[in-house]
Structure 1
Amino acid sequence: MKKAILIAVFALLCTGAFAQSAKAIYGKYSGQEGVEGIYISESMFKMIGGIPDLPLGDMPMDISPYLKSMKGMYLLNTSNDSQLYDDVQKLVSAGKYELMMEVNDGSDKVNIYTEKSGNMITSFVLLVRDSSECVFICLDGQISEEDFQKLISEAMKNA
């Protein structure tokens, strides 16, 4: 029984460590010269999520129900990409992230990763690298796979 409790505690600590990794990457690079950093907190997502019928750009789809469950968003954009790219690669390969999509077009590369717990997507990572810049976006929160599919499907219909 003690062994099971220790394993459960260790698993929870590891999960927390992975959740902190995106925050750590953001903390490492945000504020450096040549790096644009944007952080959106859970409180801001809850406030924005309370706005009824919040559209996504020009698309007539309401995203407010999905925003309430977001925990944070970290965005970094830099022209000095080599170390940022390597750090994000370590993040996604060390954790429970699954590669969902990869695009390679010459020097342009786009990777999308998700981390799941059961049927809930708990983290979404977008990593874009081209010859002049690197963009890292990590969105933490909870959205069911079904809701995520609906959101993507609706966005594709309206695109």
Structure 2
Amino acid sequence: MKQDPLRFGIIGTSNIADIPRAPALQRVAGVTLWSVLSREHARAEQFARKHGAMSPHPAYSDLSDFLSDPQLQAVIITSPDNLHGQHILQRARAGKHVLVEKSLVTSHEEGAEIISACRKRDVKLGVSMHLRWHAAHRKLHPLILEDGVLGKLRHIRI
């Protein structure tokens, strides 16, 4: 029996949402772009049309309305970093899975609150680190950490 696709919403209509994220949803079997949230309703409508959002009401400018859709199953968050915490917490408390662009949040305390909320609701939380396995990064790793070619590692700030 054919299973319905996993319905994703996208919060934010920035370039990261427009260029890699929404097109990726179109290429992956078993998932679909369901709806879009933007601060500007017209921008959400344009984005939803461009990327073929499947919801009968695909465009939102109000976060509460967007999150109240019972058909929405998972969210990709591409909003500004300072809004990530608010957006993740609301989705986690609703029991919806989240993929968020880096950075996760802007403070350790907010991160701890998010992790706790996700664990309580058994919500899957992922942070998109699209360059983590980039060829240049893979080449630098042994030069820094294993061979010491670039000197001794003294500090990493994350």
TM-score, reference length from structure 2: 0.27
TM-score by length of 1: 0.27
* Bigger share in strand: 1
Structure showing greater Rg: 2
Larger RCO of the pair (alpha carbons < 8 Å, separation 6+) = 1
